[in-house]
Structure 1
């Protein structure tokens, strides 16, 4: 790139050694430590089953995934906190992950979506959020034309916690496999253990199935249910063993001797797809001039403290070069062109509420990025759209609606990626491409907080409602009850706004260390660019077994 074509170098005003920056760094490192401990909780829970797996001659699920992946290549975990506080509301007992390991990684030089039942925890029985986590992984594979690799070993649905809606909605797992296959995207399943009832359709809807001798099981009804339903008596091997499926039913294409052999076969199958990257990784990638480590000292865990989000962008962008769009108009809304590992992108972020001018500027910028065909990266840090008499009379509703129209429909033209950095409040969550607007990827920093409004504001609103109601009725207020209500509302809002809670609810694709943001964005942009360049051969139907 010629010097005349380069964007201006951002001049940082951050002093990373200031008392404020050092305190912010310390606070954020403490939050990162909490998150890492939560992720480790799932790994430790699964590892307790190691003696059982070794006795059976099996590998633990995380060992299988590690053996499947190319060493030294990026691994992007998906939704590792899913289910935290959901399946077990007591947070100190809740094991994140929803019994599923998922991520995007490289297998034999091919980038793939990988999903594995964590059978080290409750024998891989499906948890409430496990289905949603798997659906999200399937959706990512479909959107981005990535082969889908499934390592199956599950006790099936937890009948002690049976809920009819889980059964009905669970059909989406099979629908998505059929859609993936019909879209021309390869599906490879390694059946490490049992797949019963609905779980048997996982291999049934796959393009290639690898089974393990003496360990794989796939049947619509296992021996106990078969006997209860029909009175017939049969062994597991007769009903759904690996040798039977490889030699008689035709459900299995390959018969492996053990887990390691099965993983080796899977790597060879993936390597034979001829699905190498087409576009990704071919661009020059100068590093930012400003260190990414500074990001720890930028964002406060107290979101009332202001942050110049240009400082964040400059630590993500190649050479820390930024070209700001309409810098003097709607100044609290930032629209900036930059490059991340050679990918041209448009950043949108906030240095305050989104006002009328800011909404108009963002709408114009989104249309400009769509015309250029450049992905949009939203860095959320906003209290929402501006409120007040002047704002309402200025048309905030209609101008905010224009921005939401642009965000919604831009997805048809360019990839959109969202990072929740700080505040994500009110309709600002929507206007800045929150989860409901289906960005291609969405990740959270540990400092992020998401809510319709702050807890104090919610409590204050309800107090005014109570006071007005009491005045209308002419009755005195119970001050103690009002205070208890206030504390309850604040606690409820603050608990649910926390990034780890929202990640547990699958409202993002995972929490990331701010220092890893550039690498995560670069990987996502590579994935999006490769998907755009790749031609697939869609079929009228998915691959159907003989």
Structure 2
């Protein structure tokens, strides 16, 4: 779980984890901490000084003043764009997350003008669209703290015309407003070109005097197009838009005043306090801080599933479903922080029996409106002639079908490996989890690096044999080394979070808090009816 500083709160078939002493977690945590430090720092010192000289708060400071004191902020996409572009774009230049404002749960979207002037890179757009998706699924108002120079023009073809590009932001605003989900904007700096449609389409808009500007074409474009010479405030400042154009509704003296006006607007809206847990919250059987000590040094070893559950769920109490059947997947109902949840957790490779068991359990949870939590530590489905003849693809498809069509809230947490079709069956990103996170030791890719290197080595060996050439052990090692390095880099949680394949990288010790907040959010969300597709029997 990520909180604002000012607010409380390889894919080979695994072996049993007891073969090697547990430990080795610290080497996984360090790169995550380093990436997080970059994200939290925001833009350069020069950009920050220029920002403050204009009397402006930073994006994270604005969020701190906006939220109810002492309440948590569940940040989404904190590591987005880390090491993706040629120059640093911390947090993709935008801070997004879920918090409480006037005792109402809201989604906050705040541009960071210290990062490239708050301009939108492709991942900035993707992150804002992701935030809007979360808000829509969970019935949350969205608050936009706008301070942006618009699209990053050198990358315009990756920003402008596609279905999920810049225009999707505005479509989402219109559709969510039509659903009765308040859309509130505070213009606290520049709001240029297409970005001007954020405040113009919001239900209610605040603009800061002296710093806030809204215009479809800036002074330079106006001069180039028409010859008219006009400065930014004359063209689209607060006086224009509150006194003449009516693009904005409320005039604010400064950032703090603007945030107080936003809070007042939220307070006038429909009340939706965070639902209290239906069950009495109970501490886990063992401390969550002990989980890191259970993580094996060798990532090919299986995590001690039941020991981890003892440290995550209330009182370690699991009402298990078919405990003696399909034992490589653990299914059962439990509670986290007093919120009921249906658990689907890997404890080995997926066989036909375990896939059928999981599919049946998911059906039960949907019938009883119990949210689902998928805990990934999976190398995939069992392979081989006998298993294929036994219909493992057909049985696995039942599980994938159930996961895809379940309409209860779904959450995914990668605690170990999550590879290939195993990722799909366990509700990977493509299957619509409300929120998805990884532990720093977790890895995800189409297969493990060792498997990929071996497969490619065998292909190359066959090619050379047909050409009448030798393929030596040295040749094999030389070929495998870069494949292993690439898979390690690409399967790493920082890379996954940077590309928004997951919403967060969460430390094991913080996982209960992250899960509790996620389940609380879902508890008050609109309910949907589940209709399953055709199961191949």
Distance 1:156 1:95, change over 3 A: closer
Task: Identify which range, 121-130 or 436-445, moves more after superposition.
Answer: 121-130
The answer to whether the Cα contact below 8 Å between 1:246 and 1:252 also exists between their aligned partners in 2 is yes
Taking the TM superposition and a 5 Å limit, the aligned residue runs for 1:42-441 are 42-46=39-43, 48=45, 49-88=47-86, 94-159=88-153, 161-168=154-161, 169-277=165-273, 279-281=275-277, 283-300=279-296, 302-410=298-406, 412=407, 414-441=408-435
The answer for the alignment partner of 1:462 in structure 2 is 456
CA-based RMSD of the aligned residues comes to 2.1
The answer to whether the Cα contact below 8 Å between 2:122 and 2:158 also exists between their aligned partners in 1 is no
State the shift of 1:307 in Å.
2.1
Q: Indicate which of 17, 38, 41 corresponds to 1:41.
A: 38
Taking the TM superposition and a 5 Å limit, the aligned residue runs for 1:477-496 are 477=471, 482-496=476-490
State the shift of 1:135 in Å.
0.5
Distance 1:424 1:251 in 2: 48
State the shift of 1:328 in Å.
1.2
Structure 2 residue 21 is the aligned partner of structure 1 residue 28: no
State the shift of 1:524 in Å.
0.9
State the shift of 1:193 in Å.
0.5
The answer to whether the Cα contact below 8 Å between 2:89 and 2:115 also exists between their aligned partners in 1 is no
Distance 1:501 1:232 in 2: 47
The answer for the alignment partner of 2:436 in structure 1 is 442
State the shift of 1:282 in Å.
5.3
Q: Residue 306 of structure 1: SS of its match in structure 2?
A: coil
Number of aligned residue pairs? 509
Structure 1, unmatched stretches of 5+, are 1-13, 535-546
State the shift of 1:215 in Å.
0.9
Structure 2, unmatched stretches of 5+, are 1-15, 529-537
Distance 1:404 1:362, change over 3 A: same
The answer for the alignment partner of 2:523 in structure 1 is 529
Distance 1:510 1:302 in 2: 24
* TM-score of the two chains, using structure 2 as the length reference: 0.91
Distance 2:72 2:91 in 1: 20
Q: Residue 532 of structure 1: SS of its match in structure 2?
A: coil
State the shift of 1:165 in Å.
2.9
Distance 1:15 1:330 in 2: 20
Task: Identify which range, 298-307 or 99-108, moves more after superposition.
Answer: 298-307
Render the CA deviation track for 1:484-518: whole Å, top value 9, x for unaligned: 33222111111101111111111001111111111
The answer to whether the Cα contact below 8 Å between 1:87 and 1:127 also exists between their aligned partners in 2 is no
Taking the TM superposition and a 5 Å limit, the aligned residue runs for 1:504-519 are 504-519=498-513
State the shift of 1:480 in Å.
5.7
Render the CA deviation track for 1:270-308: whole Å, top value 9, x for unaligned: 122132326344542121121111111122353212222
Render the CA deviation track for 1:42-90: whole Å, top value 9, x for unaligned: 33243723432332121122211111111211110101011112123xx
State the shift of 1:478 in Å.
7.4
Distance 2:304 2:472 in 1: 44
Distance 1:365 1:272 in 2: 42
Distance 1:471 1:409 in 2: 47
